[in-house]
Amino acid sequence: MLDNVKQMLLKHEGMRTFPYKCSEDKLTIGIGRNLEANGISEDEALYLLENDIKRVTANLDKMWPVWRTFPEKAQLVCIDMTFQMGITGFMNFRQTRALMEMSCWLEASEEVLRSKYAIQTPNRAAYNSRQLALSKQHEQDKGTTPK
């Protein structure tokens, strides 16, 4: 019976993958999910997050594959910034990325703080800047600092 219910609701509601206003002017998504009345569950939010992380890392792999060679803290910064501003926004950080490619972690961390991003989201930018600075220490601890 569940399959019949799904087919019926899909036929009557349709499927939309972007939010829209239904006939009752309620923000809706998917197959008639009234976001204003029902929102989403924590499980649904975590499912969406997993998909978003996969999308972000796939975009980074396609557009800037060198990010995978960085210390973990620097990789997390790449993911966080791309998650927040999209791959196009992150790719606009040309100077920061060039410094990261040269393992100039302190300089890259300072460059993050000189950006519009740091003005718009100062706490997040400060955190990511610190993580880049700590990437230098990570390389020193592992003995992988470039000569």
The pTM of the full predicted model, rounded to 2 decimals, is: 0.86
**For position 40, what pLDDT does the model report?**
96
**For position 136, what pLDDT does the model report?**
76
Residue segments in the chain with a per-residue pLDDT below the cut of 70: 138-147
**For position 138, what pLDDT does the model report?**
60
Q: Which residue has the tokens 């930018």?
A: 125
**For position 108, what pLDDT does the model report?**
98
Q: At what angle do helices 72-91 and 122-142 cross, to 10 degrees?
A: 130
